[in-house]
Chains A and B, each alone.
Chain A
Amino acid sequence: MDSAQLAGMWIAAFLTLIVYSYLIGRNPLFRFAQHLFLGTAIGYAVLIVLQRFLAPEAMRAVVPGPGSDPVSRAMTVLGLLWGILLFAWMYRPIRWLVSWPLAIAFGVGSALAVGGALMGTLIPQVGATLLPLRGAGAADNLITVAIVLLGLLGLFFTVRREGVLGKALGGVARLGRWSLLVALGAFLGARAISLLNAVVERLEFLGQWLGTILP
C-alpha cells in the first residue's frame, strides 16, 4: 500500500468515525462531515458534467471534426442554447424564457416515463399475473394470482360493507390489506438488512484500518 492509499485510508477512517459520532449526539464534527460530503458530491458532479460531457459536446459542435454530421452538430448547438436559456432565471425581464427549455425537459421526461411505464411495466406485469393454474408451478401461480386479487380488493372501497356480500367483501379486503402489509414488511426488512450490510462493510474497513496501526 503506497502512501497515497494509506493517506486515503486514514482520511476515510476518520470521516467514518466522525459520521458514527452522531450516535453519541449531534456535534460540529458531524456537521463538518455532512457538509464535506455534500460539497464533494456536488463539486464532483459539476466537474464530471463539464469535463466529460458539456465541454466535449461543445467542442464537437463548434470545431467540426472529420466526418462530423452537420445535422448532429446543429442539434448539439441548439441543445446547448436551449440549456443556456435556463440561466435567464437570474434576470427578471427575460425570466419567461426559462419556460421553453423547462417545457421541453418536462415534456420529454413525461413522455418517456409514461411510455416506458406503460409498455415496459404496466402491460408486462399485468401479463405476468395472468398465470396458468394448471401444470407445473400451479400452486405458485395460484398463490400469486390470489394475492394479486386480494391486494386489489383491499383497495376496493366502492361497495358498502353491509349485507352478506358486503361483509364477505370486507373480510376479503381485510385479507388483502394484510397481504399488502406483509409485502411492506418485507420491503422494510430488506431495507434494514441492506443498511446492516453497509454497517458491516464499514466495520470491516475500520478493522482493516486498525490492522495498519496495530502491530
Chain B
Amino acid sequence: MIVCPKCRALNPDGFLFCGRCGKPLREEKEPGKEPEEIPSWLKELGEGLAAGPGPAIRAGGGEEPPPWLEEGPAEEKATPEGLPPWLAEEAAPAEEAAGELPPWLVEEGAPIEGPAAEEMGVAGPVVGPEEGAGAGLPPWLAEEAAPAEEGPAGEEMPVAGAPRPEEEEARAVPEEPVRAPEPWLEGLEEELPAWLAMAETEKREAEVFPSWPGAPEAAAERPTTPAEEAEIPAVTAEPVPSGAAGEAGLPAGWGQEAGQVAMEAETWEEGVGPPAEEAAEAAPAHVEEGGPGEEAGLPAVPTEGATPLPEVPHGEFPEVEVSAEEAGPAPWLPHVPEAEGERVPDWARALQPQESAQASFLEGLELPDWLRVEEERVEEVPAEPTLSWLERLGEEEEVKPAPVGTTARPPLPPLSPARRRAADLFAALVAAPEPVPQERPSPAPSLLKRFFRWLSGRWPGLFLLGVLLVGWVLPSSPPEIAQENWSVLERIDQVLRSTAGEDPPLVLVAFDWDLHRAGEMHPLGTALMRHLLRPIDPQRDPRKRPAVVAVSTTFQGGYIAQEVWESARDASGYEGVAYGTDFLNLAMRPGGESALRLLTSQPVSATFPVDHLFGQPVEYYALGKRLGRLEGIDLLVVMAGEESKAVAWLEQVRSRYPHLPCVLIAPAELRPVLEPYMQARGISPDGALWGLRAAFEYEDWLNRMSGIVVHRDLPLEKRLNVLAVAQLGLVALVVLGNLLPLGGGMEGSGR
C-alpha cells in the first residue's frame, strides 16, 4: 500500500497517482507496511491486494474498506483454513520448516569475513557474537531492539543465531560504525533500514551464489556425492541445524572458517539456541519468507551467531506468531478470506488483472529477476527439481498460458439505468432499417424557367452579343485618316517612288502572324499588298512594279502570304503580276531569332533557300536571282502578330540595319507593349500601323491617292462601328459588374 504524501490516503500498489487528490505517489510509502523494493513474491501477492479494495481506497474512504484492511495485517491471525494451497504447503511441520531455512539464516553463526565483511564495514576477520550483534544494526534499529527484547518474539529469536544474553552486549555498542555506507545510500541511511540499504550488496553476492537449497526432503533422500561435497561451501558442508539448507553452496569467502563456524554453531545450538521448532515459531513471517528475500535484497545477516535478527518495530513489520501448527502464509500478506472476497463487488473482480496478461505485458521489458512474474521464473528453472522451497512455491503457482486468440474477456461492469437506456436506444437504431429518402413529387420546371436558368449563367456573353448586333445595325460614319498613319503611308510610298535605277524597288515583307490575328492583320496585309503591287507610275510605265518577297518564321506565315498575294492578284487593276517576278513567297524558316540572325549575316537566299508555292530553289526565279543580303533591300515591312515576333525583328535585324527603311504592322493590342520600342533609338521602325483602324485608313488612303478600291461594300467601316459599340458595351459591363455588389451591400462585396 502506498500512502499519499498529501492527503494520507491509502492507494494500492501500482498506483502512480493518488486516487483521491492525484498527487504522485513515488515520494512516500506507507511506513512499515512494505519496503520500497518489493520482492517479486511480495509483489505478486500485492497485486491481489490491489485488485481487491482498490476502488474503495481510490474513493478516498468514501466506501468502507474490507475488514481485513481495517483490522490490519498485524492483528490478523493466519488460519490454515484460509490458506491457499500453495501457502498451505508451506505450513510444514517444524522440522521441515527448520530444514527450509535459507542459508543466510543458517550461517548466522558464521563470522563476517571476506568481501562481505569488508562491505559491511566489520573490522577484523572474525567478529564475535557480542560485537556482531551491534555491527549489523543501524542506530534506529538498535534503539528498537530494546522493547523488542522484552517481547516474546524477541526472546524467541534464536534462529538468527544470536543468543539472548548476547543481545544486550550487542545493544551496548549500537553506535559503532561498522560499515561504510554505499555512495548511493548516502543521505538515505536515516530513512532506510540497514538491511534494505544493503540490498544492492547482497544482490551482487547473490549473483555468485548457486541456487537456493533444494527441497529438504529431496536433499534428505539424496546422498551427497563426493563431487557435490567438493562444491558445497565449507560453511554448509558441515551439518547445520537446518539440515541440507546450505547444500547449494555459499560464497567461498564465507566458508573459510567453516569448521570453526560449524563448531560454534553446534555449540550454540546445543547450549543456547532453541530447537528448530522454536525457531520456526519465533521467526516472524518476513523472516520465514526471507529466503528469496535475501536474493531480493532482504537483510542478510552476515555473521553466524553474531547478529541477532533485528527486532521488528511495530510500525515497520507486523508481529505475527507462527507456530508449527498454524504455519501458513504470513498473515500480513494480502489475503482476502473467502467471506471477505465475496464482498468484493463484481466490477472490482472484473478489474482484477490476470496473470497471463501481466506476463505477456511484461514480456518485452528488461526487468530484474526479482521483478519477473512467476511464469517467467518457471521458465528459468532447470528441469531438475530444485531444492529451493521458493522455487517449489513457484511450481505450485504455474500459470497456464492463455490460448492465443481466446483471451478471456473481462466481464463488463454493470450499466446504470441511464446508460442502459442509451444502449437500448442505440441498439434499436442500429437494428432499424436505414431510412430511404423519398423523393418529393415536384413538378418539372417549365421550359421558360429552364431557359432563364440557362441564361442566368451566360448573361455577360449574351450581353456582348446583343451589343455587337446593335452596332451592326447602327449607321456608321467613316473615320478620318490619322496623321500618324498618313505619314507612315506617305513614307512607304516615298520609298517605293524614290528607288532609282532600272530595277524596281525590292521590298521584304515578313508575315509573322497566325490566323487567329486574321481579323486585324488580314485587312492590313491585303491593303499593303495592294499598295506594293500597284504600278509605281502607271502613266509612264504601267509594268514597273515593286518586287515583293515574303518571308516568315512561323508555320502559317507562308500560307497567309500566299493567300494575301492571290487576293491581290485576282483584284482588278493587277493584271499582269506574276509569281517569281513581282512576288516570291519564300515560306518560312524555323529557328526564330537564330534564323533572323542568319538573315542578317548571309544572303536572303541562303536563309530561305526554297519558295513556298513550288518548293523550287530561290535561284530558280528571276526575283530570287536579285536577292542578296539585306543591304540590297529597299524597304522592310514587319507584320508581327505577337510581341515576341516584333521584338525579335527589331532586336536582331533592325538593330543591325538602322538605316534600312522599316515599317511595323501589328495588331492594336500590341501597341501599349511595343510603344517603348517605337521610341528607342537605333531599333525603332520608321513607322507603325496598328490594328483594324489602320487597315481601314490604309484602304481609304489607297482609294484617295491611287483610286484603288479594296472593298466596295466597306466592311471595315461597319466593323469599326461594331467594335466601337462593343467597346462601350464592355465598359458598361465592367462598371455594372463593379456597381452591382456595391448596390447589394457589403454582403455581396465581401464575398
> What distance in Å separates the Cβ of B568 from its nearest Cβ neighbour in chain A?
17
Chain A residues closer than 8 Å to B672, beta-carbon distance: 183, 186-187, 190
By CB atoms of chain B within 10 A, which of A45, A51, A190, A202 has the most?
A190
B593: Cβ under 8 A from any A Cβ: yes
Q: Annotate A91-134 by CB proximity to B: 1 below 8 A, 0 otherwise.
A: 00000000000000000110011001101110011011000000
Chain A residues closer than 8 Å to B516, beta-carbon distance: 198
Chain A residues closer than 8 Å to B677, beta-carbon distance: 121, 124-125
A157: Cβ under 8 A from any B Cβ: no
The one of A108, A121, A200 in contact with B723, judged by C-beta atoms closer than 8 angstroms, is A200
B719: Cβ under 8 A from any A Cβ: yes
The one of B464, B589, B648, B722 in contact with A53, judged by C-beta atoms closer than 8 angstroms, is B589
The one of A72, A124, A196 in contact with B683, judged by C-beta atoms closer than 8 angstroms, is A124
A23 touches B461 (CB 8 A): yes
Total A-B contacts with CB atoms under 8 angstroms apart:
134
B679: Cβ under 8 A from any A Cβ: yes
> What distance in Å separates the Cβ of B472 from its nearest Cβ neighbour in chain A?
8
Q: Annotate B695-728 by CB proximity to A: 1 below 8 A, 0 otherwise.
A: 0000000000000000000010001001100110
The one of B609, B648, B676 in contact with A128, judged by C-beta atoms closer than 8 angstroms, is B676
Chain A residue total in the interface (Cβ 8 A): 44
Residues of chain A in range 135-190 having any CB-CB distance to chain B below 8 Å: 183, 186-187, 189-190
> What distance in Å separates the Cβ of A134 from its nearest Cβ neighbour in chain B?
18
B670's closest neighbor in chain A, by CB? Answer: A190
B468: Cβ under 8 A from any A Cβ: yes
A116 touches B681 (CB 8 A): no
Alpha-carbon gap, A127 to B650, bound state (A): 16
Contact A52/B615 with A113-B593, A127-B680, A194-B668 known, Cβ cut-off 8 Å? yes
> What distance in Å separates the Cβ of A47 from its nearest Cβ neighbour in chain B?
9
A199's closest neighbor in chain B, by CB? Answer: B468
Contact A201/B719 with A57-B609, A116-B652, A194-B520 known, Cβ cut-off 8 Å? yes
By CB atoms of chain B within 10 A, which of A48, A56, A183 has the most?
A48
> What distance in Å separates the Cβ of B424 from its nearest Cβ neighbour in chain A?
54
A49: Cβ under 8 A from any B Cβ: yes
A121 touches B651 (CB 8 A): yes
B668 touches A200 (CB 8 A): no
The one of B468, B594, B597, B612 in contact with A200, judged by C-beta atoms closer than 8 angstroms, is B468
> What distance in Å separates the Cβ of A12 from its nearest Cβ neighbour in chain B?
11
Chain B: number of interface residues, binned into ranges = 35 or more
Contact A112/B593 with A128-B681, A192-B730 known, Cβ cut-off 8 Å? yes
Contact A128/B719 with A120-B651, A200-B468, A200-B726 known, Cβ cut-off 8 Å? no
The one of B518, B617, B652 in contact with A201, judged by C-beta atoms closer than 8 angstroms, is B518
The one of A109, A121, A190 in contact with B594, judged by C-beta atoms closer than 8 angstroms, is A109
Alpha-carbon gap, A187 to B673, bound state (A): 8
Contact A200/B722 with A56-B610, A116-B651, A194-B668 known, Cβ cut-off 8 Å? yes
A52 touches B673 (CB 8 A): no
A60: Cβ under 8 A from any B Cβ: yes
Chain A residues closer than 8 Å to B671, beta-carbon distance: 190
> What distance in Å separates the Cβ of B309 from its nearest Cβ neighbour in chain A?
84
A7: Cβ under 8 A from any B Cβ: no
Chain B residues closer than 8 Å to A192, beta-carbon distance: 730
Alpha-carbon gap, A194 to B513, bound state (A): 14
Contact A53/B590 with A193-B727, A200-B726 known, Cβ cut-off 8 Å? yes
Alpha-carbon gap, A202 to B522, bound state (A): 13
Chain A residues closer than 8 Å to B559, beta-carbon distance: 44
Alpha-carbon gap, A205 to B588, bound state (A): 28
Chain A residues closer than 8 Å to B719, beta-carbon distance: 197, 200-201, 204
Alpha-carbon gap, A113 to B651, bound state (A): 9
A41: Cβ under 8 A from any B Cβ: yes
A35: Cβ under 8 A from any B Cβ: no
B664: Cβ under 8 A from any A Cβ: no
Alpha-carbon gap, A49 to B652, bound state (A): 23
Residues of chain A in range 26-59 having any CB-CB distance to chain B below 8 Å: 41, 44-45, 48-49, 51-53, 56-57
Chain B residues closer than 8 Å to A127, beta-carbon distance: 680-681
Chain B residues closer than 8 Å to A80, beta-carbon distance: none
The one of B468, B652, B654, B682 in contact with A112, judged by C-beta atoms closer than 8 angstroms, is B652
Chain B residues closer than 8 Å to A49, beta-carbon distance: 555, 590
B182: Cβ under 8 A from any A Cβ: no
B520's closest neighbor in chain A, by CB? Answer: A197
B680 touches A125 (CB 8 A): yes
Contact A197/B519 with A125-B676, A187-B672, A203-B468 known, Cβ cut-off 8 Å? yes
> What distance in Å separates the Cβ of A51 from its nearest Cβ neighbour in chain B?
6
Residues of chain B in range 414-465 having any CB-CB distance to chain A below 8 Å: 458, 461, 464
B346: Cβ under 8 A from any A Cβ: no
B615 touches A48 (CB 8 A): no
Q: Annotate A76-102 by CB proximity to B: 1 below 8 A, 0 otherwise.
A: 000000000000000000000000000
> What distance in Å separates the Cβ of A44 from its nearest Cβ neighbour in chain B?
6
Q: Annotate B577-606 by CB proximity to A: 1 below 8 A, 0 otherwise.
A: 000000000011110011001000000001
Residues of chain B in range 494-516 having any CB-CB distance to chain A below 8 Å: 516
Chain A residues closer than 8 Å to B647, beta-carbon distance: 116, 120-121
A190 touches B676 (CB 8 A): no
The one of A23, A60, A183 in contact with B458, judged by C-beta atoms closer than 8 angstroms, is A23
Contact A117/B680 with A186-B672, A191-B669, A197-B723 known, Cβ cut-off 8 Å? no
Alpha-carbon gap, A204 to B468, bound state (A): 11
A56 touches B726 (CB 8 A): no
B655: Cβ under 8 A from any A Cβ: yes
Alpha-carbon gap, A189 to B733, bound state (A): 13
B134: Cβ under 8 A from any A Cβ: no
Alpha-carbon gap, A116 to B600, bound state (A): 13
Alpha-carbon gap, A49 to B468, bound state (A): 40
A124 touches B681 (CB 8 A): yes
Alpha-carbon gap, A190 to B647, bound state (A): 18
Alpha-carbon gap, A25 to B615, bound state (A): 44
> What distance in Å separates the Cβ of B687 from its nearest Cβ neighbour in chain A?
17
B648 touches A116 (CB 8 A): yes
Chain B residues closer than 8 Å to A187, beta-carbon distance: 672-673
Chain A residues closer than 8 Å to B667, beta-carbon distance: 194, 197
B558: Cβ under 8 A from any A Cβ: yes
B718's closest neighbor in chain A, by CB? Answer: A204
B691: Cβ under 8 A from any A Cβ: yes
A186's closest neighbor in chain B, by CB? Answer: B672
Residues of chain B in range 470-487 having any CB-CB distance to chain A below 8 Å: 472
Alpha-carbon gap, A197 to B594, bound state (A): 32
> What distance in Å separates the Cβ of A189 from its nearest Cβ neighbour in chain B?
8
B669 touches A48 (CB 8 A): no
A48 touches B558 (CB 8 A): yes
The one of A48, A56, A72, A197 in contact with B588, judged by C-beta atoms closer than 8 angstroms, is A48
Chain A residues closer than 8 Å to B517, beta-carbon distance: 198
B692: Cβ under 8 A from any A Cβ: yes
Alpha-carbon gap, A193 to B668, bound state (A): 8
By CB atoms of chain B within 10 A, which of A108, A200, A202 has the most?
A200
A112 touches B519 (CB 8 A): no
Chain A residues closer than 8 Å to B722, beta-carbon distance: 200
Q: Annotate B640-655 by CB proximity to A: 1 below 8 A, 0 otherwise.
A: 0000000110111011
Chain B residues closer than 8 Å to A201, beta-carbon distance: 518-519, 719
By CB atoms of chain A within 10 A, which of B654, B673, B679 has the most?
B679
Alpha-carbon gap, A183 to B671, bound state (A): 12
Alpha-carbon gap, A71 to B464, bound state (A): 60
Chain A residues closer than 8 Å to B597, beta-carbon distance: 112
Show the binding face of B for A, using Cβ within 8 Å.
458, 461, 464, 468, 472, 516-520, 555-556, 558-559, 587-590, 593-594, 597, 606, 609-610, 612, 615, 617, 647-648, 650-652, 654-655, 667-673, 676-677, 679-684, 691-692, 715, 719, 722-723, 726-727, 730
- A-B pairs with lowest CB-CB distance, top 3: A120-B651, A124-B680, A201-B519
Name 7 extra pairs, CB < 8 A, besides A44-B556, A196-B464: A48-B558, A121-B647, A190-B669, A193-B668, A193-B727, A196-B730, A200-B719
- For this complex, 6 residue pairs linking A to B, each with C-beta atoms less than 8 Å apart, are A109-B593, A112-B594, A125-B679, A193-B668, A196-B723, A197-B691
